[in-house]
Structure formats: structure tokens, C-alpha cells
Amino acid sequence: MTKTLIASKIKQPTFLPMTREEMDWLGWDRPDILLVSGDSYIDHPSFGIPLLGRVLTAHGYKVALVCQPDWKDTKDIEALGRPRLYAGVSAGALDSMLSHYTSFRKKRSDDAYTPGGKAGARPNRACIIYTNLIKKAFKGLPVVMGGIEASLRRISHYDFWTEKIRKTILMDSKADLLIYGMGERAMLEAADRLSEADEPSGATLRGINGTAFMGKIEDIPADAEVIELPSHQDILDDPQMLMKATLLLEEQVHYGKAWAIQKTDSRYVVITPPAIYLNTNELDWLYTLPFARLPHPSYDEKGRIPAAEMIEFSITSHRGCGGGCSFCSIAMHQGRHIRSRSKKSILSEAAGMNSHSHFRGSISDIGGPSANMWNAKCSVEREKCKRKSCLVPNICPNFKYDQKANLDLLKQTRNLDGIKHVRVASGVRFDLGLKDRTSLREIFKEFVGGQLKVAPEHISPEVLKHMRKPDLPVFESFLELFEVETKNAGKNQYVIPYLMSAFPGCTDADMRMLADWLKAKGWSPKQVQCFIPTPGTVATAMYYTGTTPDGERIFVAKTDAQRLKQHGILIPDATRDPRSIRYKDKQTKPEKNTKKDISKDFKGNKKFKGKSKTEPFSKKNKKR
């Protein structure tokens, strides 16, 4: 039986301690659990480490944080003392490599999760570096890693920055346990197990749902259903095996009951079934925890933290996304099934914002990975469905959603005392919205604050199919309705489309088709993302193999020249120097030395000289 996450109320500090002085004030000689993060400490439920810290504290554990430590020595890690139970590690809200480098492998100058908004406060491959620091500082201490960087690297994966297949991050980091997906249950069970064990060690943590560890086949229960993934060597020998492994892992996450294993050298990555999702009562409880909704006071003199301002007065209404876009990690991390908070909980959080000194009456966003999937449900048991997407190629009849209920939630929130504005800023699934045009019209008229960001990504039928996105006529119907209702309301507001170049299967002709469509609309895009193959997604497997999941050969723009050419079709200036253009990834200025050899930035890749290869495999293994 799964232990409930809900705990009785325990008085918590305004901020979790980050210094020895704060620990002394609390009367602690050392923490039970030390959480290390690549982000600065923003005490807000939208950030994983603060959320987990609050949950563990509510269950009686002493939790201290080390955020953005110096990674060149162990002094910051050691400052708060050896934790009694374990250390937890996260690279932060973003993959550290994605945080540091643009689509063209150029260093970014900004970091939204750092005081002053400047890059450089975290290392490349932060999970590996932080784990190594902890292992060096505290011999024998169990280390648990989680977050998006670790989660999507739990098996062999393609690394865009070195153009290599890398082994599971468990082997590179030597962490004792990797938590994938949302980590509240696993983090709490890890603490409980170690607290109760006579001889606690990393082995004590094996078998917790929603985790992975280096082990052996015998670690799996004899009666368990097991999915065997292609081995690391299989993937090195045959690139198509990466696609197979990715699809099998996607199936394991969505199915929810099977274990998975992958042989790596003479050992195995053992992956337990996904953690049981939090129910509505548990989600509601999370948001009763005493978050300050502010950065830690130690940052007051270090400059603003852009991410803190962006989400300060936003509300998370649900987890999970039924879209299943092939390039998006959300379905693999949060899951495809929607878990929603109650209306009462959301209204209570909104009403409570009035007591915040910074609040001026505007709630910037209410939503989750998508804006309009709150309270959506699947009428089929999780283990009986193997669809990759609830919405593509068509909306599944078992996917139950109520757009009017979502609209009513927005209205009731706006009608609370002290609330002047409630915005829907981004993430609207236009295919769902169009199923209830009456509700969508009201959202356009009453809840858009000038700009509505949506993600058509492309218009080419083939590219949209590869992306698992709705067809162009659906988006055009959405735009038509938006334009009509905006005009009728006498408002000055716009749709801002997220667009992508160089997606696997996208040709130059597809990009010209998109450019012509934009020209006909009178749109001149300022923010276009060139596809980045991040670990663990189906789109990355397509990029690496040059095939669709069905084995169909597709064109893939892989060299810098090919990628820049496609990008330049939408943003002509991008062909001059990708570092001087304002992308969606916010790289704003070029580095002084444009011929810099960046190979030293990528650990373990001695041959890489900053140039893309045409093919992802060596001559020895050059098979299709």
C-alpha cells in the first residue's frame, strides 16, 4: 500500500536554511538531508528542490539547501556538515547543457535562474559534477539525483554536444539512485528507508518506484513484468536500437506497471515502475505548504532573478500533458495522464496572494504544461492504453475534458476580492479549445493580456506528423476565431507563434512553405527555435537515426550549414552569425572570439572541434 504524502502540520522556517547561521538559529547541528541545486533558491512551488524540501520538512526531516555551489572544490558542499541520511542532487529546472548552449552550440550569456540573470553559476553536466563533489566530501553518503537532466539520461542517450552515445548518467556520476519523473514519493521513501535501516547504504534505496539504479537482474522481483531495452553496445552497433530503446522507455512510462532493464558493459540499469501519481488531495496539500514565493534573502544584493519574477504570481493547476509531442520531455517526465488540483485549492492559493507584499492584483497564469487541460481525465485504465498521444492524430474519445469548467475556474478566480486580472499567457492547446468555441471566445475576450503564445511549431503536414502536432487547418481555425473575437472586443492583442526549424524530417522546401505562409499572414517572426536534440525524446532518436519511429527514412539537417540554412529561411540574418540574432533561446550577443575552439567545454570528447558531422555513426558502424 502506498503511503500518503499528506503530513500533519509542522512549523517550518520562512526559508529552508542555506547557511550555518540559519541552521544554528534552528538549533540544528547538521541536516538530515542536503539538497544541492544548479538553480538559485526561489521558495516557490514551481521549483523542484524547494518543493521537495518543503515536503520532506513537513514529514519531520531537517532539510538544508546548497544552491549553485562552487564546483571547483568541496567547501560549499561541506559548509553545512555531513547530512545524517542522504544528499539529493538536481541540475535545476533546465538541463545544464541546454541552459548553457544555444542550438548552434554557442555559449549563452544569460541564465534566468541566477541572480543578475548571468550565465556561469553552474557547471556543464551539473548532476555529474555535484554528485562527484558530494562523494568526495562525504565518503559513503548515499546520493540521490533527480530532475529533468538526470531523468532523461537514465539510459544510454544521444548527446548533441559531443555527438556521441553516452552511457546512463548513473555510471558517469556514480550516484546511488536516480529518481525519474516527479519525485515527492521517491524522495520521502528514500528518507524513510535510510532512517529506519540498521545499516543504511545506497543499496537500501533499491526498488523504490519511480527510480533507477545500477544493479543486476536478480534485483527485480521474480513475478515482475520486465521490458528489456537494447543494450548500450547494441545502440553503438546499430543506431536504430536507440529508436527502439526510446519507444520502449516511453511505453514503460505510460504503461505504469513494468520494470525495465538495460545492459551496460557487464552491469544493468534497473528501472522500477513509475511512481504512483499524486491524487487530488495530495496535490492540494502540496500547495498549503508555507512557500515565501520569493528568492532567498541572501540574493538581495546580487540582482534580480528573472525566473522568480516570471512565476511569482502564477498558479499550477495540474500536472501531466496528453499532447505527447515527439520533441517534448514533459510527457516523459510528468507523464501523459492529467492530475489536477481541486478548484477549492486553486481559489485558496489565489486568495492567499493578497497577503503578499509584492502582489498588485494580477495573476500571470493558471495552468500546467498546457493551459487548458485542467480536470481532463482518461476513462481507460492507465495500463490498458498504449497511445503515444491523447490528442494526435485525433483527440482520443477516452480523453474527457471540459473547457467550460476551465473557463469557470478562471472567472471564479478573477472574482475573488483583491484580484484584478487573471491571464492565460501561453500553452493553450488550440485543438482542445476549438471543441468549445463559446468558452474559447470568452477566454480571448477576457483573459488574454495583449499577447497569447501558442505552439503550432510548423505548418508542413509531414513535419507536423513527425512532431505529433495538430494539422494546419486546426491552427488556422483557431487564428480566425481569435482575430474575430479580438476585433469584436475592440482589443489590441496578438498571437505569438512558437516556430521551429531543422526538425527531423523537415526539408528546405518545408521551411520555404512556412516562410510563404508567414508572409501571407504579414508575420515577421522574431523568435524561432532551431531544433535541439535533447536526451530521451523520440525526436532526438529521429535525429540520430534519420528515420521515423516506423522506420521510414527522412531527411535530417545535421551540419551547422544545413541547420543555419533552414533557420535563415525564416530569419535571414541568422545565416550571418547565429550568436547575433535574438532567438527564442535569448542569445543576445556574439562572443568576441567567433573562432573559439569549444571542444574543451565538452568533457570526454577529445576529437570534437565544434563542427557537426553529417552522420551520427563511425565508418565502422555505418549501417542504415
* CB distance 296 to 22 below 8 Å: no
- Res 612: pLDDT: 34
Beta-carbon count within 10 A of 475 CB: 23
390 is in an annotated binding site: no
Q: What is the pLDDT of residues 458-500, one digit of tens each?
A: 999 999 999 999 999 999 999 999 999 999 999 999 999 999 9
Rounded to an integer, the average pLDDT of 567-596 is 50
| pLDDT above 90 (res 607) | no
| Reported confidence tier of residue 1, pLDDT bands at 50, 70, 90 | low
Share of residues in the chain with pLDDT > 90 (%):
84
Band the pLDDT of 576: cuts 50, 70, 90.
Answer: low
Share above pLDDT 70 across residues of the chain, in percent, rounded to a whole number:
92
**325 annotated ligand binder:** yes
- Please name the residue ranges forming H helices in 314-449: 330-333, 343-352, 403-414, 430-433, 437-446
pLDDT score, position 577: 45
pLDDT for residue 574? 58
pLDDT at 365: 93
> Three-state SS for 175?
coil
Length of the chain: 624
Kindly state the average pLDDT of the residues 603-622.
35
Burial class (CB in 10 A: 0-12, 13-18, 19+), 478: buried
pLDDT digits (tens, 9 = 90+) for 199-209: 999 999 999 99
Which pLDDT score, from 0 to 100, does residue 595 have? 36
Please give the Cα distance from 152 to 263 (Å, whole number).
Answer: 17
Cα–Cα distance between 395 and 411 in angstroms, integer? 26
Mean pLDDT of 113-117: 96
- Fold of the 20-271 domain: Rossmann fold (3.40.50)
pLDDT value of position 596: 41
Q: What's the confidence (pLDDT) of residue 568? A: 93
Which amino acid type is present at position 217? Answer: I
Phi (first) and psi of residue 526, to 5 degrees: -110, -20
The pLDDT tens digits for 124-168 are 999 999 999 999 999 999 999 999 999 999 999 999 999 999 999
Pairing relationship of beta strands 177-179 and 259-264 according to DSSP bridges: unpaired
Residue-level pLDDT at 212 = 98
pTM, rounded to two decimals: 0.90
Directed axis angle between helix 508-521 and helix 560-570, to 10°?
20
The mean of the pLDDT values for the chain is: 90
Residue identified by cell 528515420 is 547
Amino acid at site 357:
S
- pLDDT tens digits for 269-310? 999 999 999 999 999 999 999 999 999 999 999 999 999 999
Q: Looking at this protein, which amino acid is placed at residue 174?
A: K
Q: What CA–CA distance (Å, rounded) separates 272 from 281?
A: 25
At 549-559, the pLDDT tens digits run: 999 999 999 99
Strand-by-strand arrangement of the 451-457 sheet: 451-457, 494-501, 528-530
The gap from C-alpha 289 to its chain's centroid, in whole angstroms, comes to: 23
* Amino acid 10: pLDDT: 87
pLDDT of amino acid 585: 37
Q: What is the pLDDT of residues 448-462, one digit of tens each?
A: 988 999 999 999 999
Residues 165-185 have pLDDT tens digits of 999 999 999 999 999 999 999
Q: Give me the mean pLDDT over the 360-389 stretch.
A: 91
- Are 140 and 199 in contact by the 8 Å Cβ rule? The answer is no
User: To which residue does cell 500571470 refer?
Assistant: 364
Q: Where are the domains of the chain?
A: 20-271
**By C-alpha distance, which of 289, 305, 295 is closest to 18?**
295
Specify whether the CB–CB gap between 294 and 355 falls below 8 A: no
Spatial separation of the C-alpha atoms in residues 42 and 50, rounded to whole Å: 7
Under the banding of pLDDT at 50, 70 and 90, the label for residue 322 is very high
